[in-house]
Structure 1
Amino acid sequence: MAGSPPPNSTWYIICTCFLLCSTIQGTLGSRQQKDLLYDLFEKSSYNKLVRPVKNETDNITVSVELYLSQINNVNEKYQYLSMMVWLTQRWKDEYLVWNSSDYQGLDVIRVPASKVWLPDTILYNTRDESSNEPFMTVTTNVIVTENGSVDWSAPLTIKSHCSVDVYLYPFDKQVCRLKFGSWQHDTKYIDYFDDTADASNYNHNGEWDTLEIAHKKELETFSCCPDKTYASVTFRLEIKRRPLFYFLNLVVPCLVISAMSLVEFILPCNSGEKVSLGITVLLSLTVFMLVVAENMPASGSDIPILSRFYIITIMCVSISLLMTILVLNCHHRQTPLPRWMQVVFLQFLARPLCLHVHVKKIQRSNSKRVYEPITQTIYTDMDMGPQEDPIDITTREKRLNGTRNNMRSLSSMESASDPVCREMLRNQRFLVEHFAEKEKTDQLISDWQLVASVLDRLFLWIYLICIVIIDSVIFTQML
């Protein structure tokens, strides 16, 4: 038959009817919400600038919840904390109440926050003038239930003041407070109470760990308006620094560099590098201290213990440099060695410091041309075993006896009448006196070098003991 539908037209008609019914049902659902929004905001002339209470003497109670998401930065120098949080506020709007049965069970709606009244909640201890803008102009939706309860949640990045105690830096714990409250309304109009503080969704920071987050309601009266009481909610956040990065990059280099100052006392005095090494160590510590000072606040109330560690270490290195200069001064002297220094350094201090100095006096004639008796010494190190003097005592005594005999022979031949012979005797006498003077000078230099060696070893032990005690005390305070 012409014009008859195709065999599968029945199924086509059924599918079309099903889709049409679904569209009508969805339109009805959207129409219910549209009617509700019209009744709440248009028909009732809802004004978001008016506090949503029917009785002006009633106040609005706002609950504040804070969920910590992430700590962005803790700035010790400028004393502020930057973090990402989820802030939730709940209150009751008496003009956003309806009966869900009139709208086919529609009991919850979501509307832009810009369409409803919002409390003027701000962060009191903000460090950024733009930090309070998200509280007033946030673009998220609010959840409104049929009993007028309004739930407003927003993810925020806030920057608050935080008094950072840097005494134990970098092994420190910090307590920061976030204070939320109304800026214009006292408790007669808006009251706050603390509800929840949670850090279970905290994304761990590489530098800081969260130890505790607590909340507390506070009532305050300000001097500007003593007859008004303002309510606020303070969240207390306790965090702890992870010190591994700072320990490896600040503490360990300081320990290694300060340990290098011990090499000053180990280097031989004639190497010429003792003072240069001390100055290099001192400059290196100064550079590291400047790095620490860049991150510290310019406060005169307290000094970080890490800065104290650097200051004390620099002072110790400076003292070690002065010790080295004193040792070098003794090492290069050529004046006669005082008797008390010989007794104190070569007899009493040498052996306790693991140094052996053997002293043997060599008697000389009382001739006016031969100088006073000198002290023959041999220096040995207990750690390395005895070291023989390049010219042993027997050889030196033979040389001195020969010098005495030559002096006697020259004295007996001075009366010779031959001018050539007398000239030769004078030249020979000059040479004998020259070598005798040189021998005396060498002996004086040797004695002072022995005193310098003993003094260097004494300073080494004093410096080592002081460094161990100071570092132990400082690390005990750090940990």
Structure 2
Amino acid sequence: MSTTNYYTIIKRVILIQTYKDKISQSNTIQTRGEKFVFGIVLLKTIYKMFAISLVVVFVTVSYCNGNYDKKRLLRQNLSKRYNPELLPILDSHQPLQIKAKLYVMALQGLDDKSQVLTASVFWYFTWKDEIFRWDHNIEYKNISKLTVKVRDVWVPEIYIVNDVRDMSIRSSGYNKDYVIVRSNGNMTWFPAKELQTSCVVDVSKYPFDTQECSIKMEAWYHDNTSFVLNTIGSGIDMSEVHFVQNGEWEIVNLSSNPFQYQDYADNSSAYSCIHYTLILKRRSSYHLITTAFPFVILMAINLLVVVIPTECGEKLGFCMSQFLTMIVFLTLIGQNMPSSSLTISYLTFLISLQILVSGITILIVAISIYLQTRRIEDRPSFVVRIIFSPLRYFQQNYFKKSFTPSQDSIHEDFTTWLDIDKKLNCGLNILLLLNVIGTVSVFVFVIY
């Protein structure tokens, strides 16, 4: 149906409508002859429009049925001489070349305890089928490709060997998948799957850790004489349309490594495989606010015990409060920290160290308060003086300004319980100083 015929029909309808309006307005048609002529013209126009519509519908249906019949005939002819269980190659001496690329759609998460990476992916596989092909220029015109079910054609049997749930690349809805077939035999297959692959997690630098996980795709039942796996481009990428960011992990790098490995039972056979590597970095903003920052604040507050005088009765209460706060804090953040015994986070060691330091501080403060109640003339035993002699040496050599010659002579001849108290407080100061230096050093090491 040409465009000119449509325009002609539309013009006639408009003229009839205009003529009808004039009749109703001017009331000029009074005779039977004029009414009869008007009716004839209207019937002819309606008849032509109806006939043209029937022709258009008939041509469209005929074309669609003809094209559908050709596709059905093509499928039948191809299926007669095709076996989906046999490798679709004519020369058995040349292996089938299969190209693959992995697209990551979403990263559900990385379980630190079970050491399992969960990700939604799909593959792009392409290969050339030398049997399932046709000439679309002669017998099957305008049919350049077909969409067939995977059960009707040969597809590679590939496994994800480090998948902890289902190693086959064919998902549960495999029979519902389709393969796009070109007339020259090029096959395109897009299998999608939710992977749960094993991944060795090193949480020693938590929450600033970076993990390296792999997806190991291998051909188990077909060696390299049957088909060979190759990558397309980089071999792995993030889907630009479907990719969804993960709130805890960031994908830093993606890479692939195609290679062949020897069969441990038969050294003459080699199998093709591709190992995909994902470098994941933990997003540390949340952990900095909820874990690292409160930890630094508690450690800084713990230093205030130095400036509180022993005579103040609240010094021991302050130390007890710090000790209990640190224990509660460790319990709370322990729920969010990775629970693995293979590698333990440095942060866990630091928190445990702070609890130990707080416990030692309570012990020293309690002893110091007790010594304040002893009489000055009471002389410590010889064993006590031997134990505290290193602290005395440290005081005399590094804090000489706090001792006068007369005091030095007194300390050489006579040591009181108050002297022991001073040495205990000096040891506490040294312990807290070393604690701060060690904690800062570990934080710098973990971050960088």
TM bin (shorter chain): 0.7 to 0.9
Q: Give, in whole Å, the separation in 2 of the partners of 1:130 and 1:214.
A: 21
Query: Which residue in the other structure is 2:177 paired with?
Result: 140
The alpha-carbon distance between structure 1 residues 293 and 477, as it changes in their structure 2 partners (threshold 3 A), is: farther
Query: Which residue in the other structure is 1:103 paired with?
Result: 140
C-alpha contact (below 8 Å) 1:65/1:87 kept by paired residues: yes
C-alpha contact (below 8 Å) 2:170/2:191 kept by paired residues: no
- What is the CA distance between 1:47 and its match in structure 2? 2.3
Give the structure-1-normalised TM-score: 0.71
SS of the residue corresponding to residue 177 of structure 1 reads strand
Query: Which residue in the other structure is 1:292 paired with?
Result: 334
Query: Which residue in the other structure is 2:444 paired with?
Result: 476
Q: Which moved more, 1:88-97 or 1:198-207?
A: 198-207
Aligned AA (1:198): D
SS of the residue corresponding to residue 165 of structure 2 reads coil
- Answering whether residue 160 of structure 2 is matched by residue 123 of structure 1, we say yes
Query: Which residue in the other structure is 2:214 paired with?
Result: 177
- Answering whether residue 69 of structure 2 is matched by residue 31 of structure 1, we say yes
Which residue of the other structure, out of 237, 250, 263, is the alignment partner of 1:198?
A: 237
- What is the CA distance between 1:239 and its match in structure 2? 1.6
Aligned AA (1:220): Y
C-alpha contact (below 8 Å) 2:147/2:179 kept by paired residues: yes
Give the structure-2-normalised TM-score: 0.75
The alpha-carbon distance between structure 1 residues 135 and 226, as it changes in their structure 2 partners (threshold 3 A), is: farther
Aligned residues: 383
Q: Give, in whole Å, the separation in 2 of the partners of 1:299 and 1:176.
A: 19
Query: Which residue in the other structure is 1:68 paired with?
Result: 104
Identity of aligned residues (%): 21
SS of the residue corresponding to residue 53 of structure 1 reads coil
- What is the CA distance between 1:295 and its match in structure 2? 4.4
C-alpha contact (below 8 Å) 1:264/1:324 kept by paired residues: no
Q: Give, in whole Å, the separation in 1 of the partners of 2:46 and 2:176.
A: 51
Rg larger in structure: 1
Q: Give, in whole Å, the separation in 2 of the partners of 1:114 and 1:272.
A: 83
Q: Note the alpha carbon deviations across 1:265-323, whole angstroms, 9 max, x for none.
A: 444545544444434433443444454387435434x4322222223222222222222
The alpha-carbon distance between structure 1 residues 205 and 325, as it changes in their structure 2 partners (threshold 3 A), is: same
Query: Which residue in the other structure is 1:82 paired with?
Result: 118
Which residue of the other structure, out of 227, 230, 234, is the alignment partner of 2:271?
A: 230
Query: Which residue in the other structure is 1:424 paired with?
Result: none
C-alpha contact (below 8 Å) 1:261/1:320 kept by paired residues: no
- What is the CA distance between 1:109 and its match in structure 2? 1.1
Q: Give, in whole Å, the separation in 2 of the partners of 1:163 and 1:220.
A: 22
SS of the residue corresponding to residue 262 of structure 1 reads helix
The alpha-carbon distance between structure 1 residues 140 and 288, as it changes in their structure 2 partners (threshold 3 A), is: farther
SS of the residue corresponding to residue 85 of structure 1 reads strand
Aligned AA (2:55): C
Query: Which residue in the other structure is 1:319 paired with?
Result: 360
- What is the CA distance between 1:449 and its match in structure 2? 7.3
SS of the residue corresponding to residue 247 of structure 2 reads coil
- What is the CA distance between 1:136 and its match in structure 2? 8.3
Q: Give, in whole Å, the separation in 1 of the partners of 2:172 and 2:136.
A: 30
Query: Which residue in the other structure is 1:253 paired with?
Result: 294
CA RMSD of superposed structures (Å)? 3.4
C-alpha contact (below 8 Å) 2:129/2:187 kept by paired residues: yes
Query: Which consecutive residues of structure 2, in runs of 5 or more, have no partner in the other structure?
Result: 1-35, 408-415
C-alpha contact (below 8 Å) 1:121/1:182 kept by paired residues: yes
Q: Which moved more, 1:247-256 or 1:133-142?
A: 133-142
Q: Give, in whole Å, the separation in 2 of the partners of 1:174 and 1:217.
A: 21
C-alpha contact (below 8 Å) 2:109/2:246 kept by paired residues: no
SS of the residue corresponding to residue 164 of structure 2 reads coil
Query: Which residue in the other structure is 1:40 paired with?
Result: 78
Q: Give, in whole Å, the separation in 2 of the partners of 1:182 and 1:106.
A: 33
Q: Note the alpha carbon deviations across 1:140-176, whole angstroms, 9 max, x for none.
A: 3211111111110133211111111212111011111
Q: Give, in whole Å, the separation in 2 of the partners of 1:109 and 1:353.
A: 94
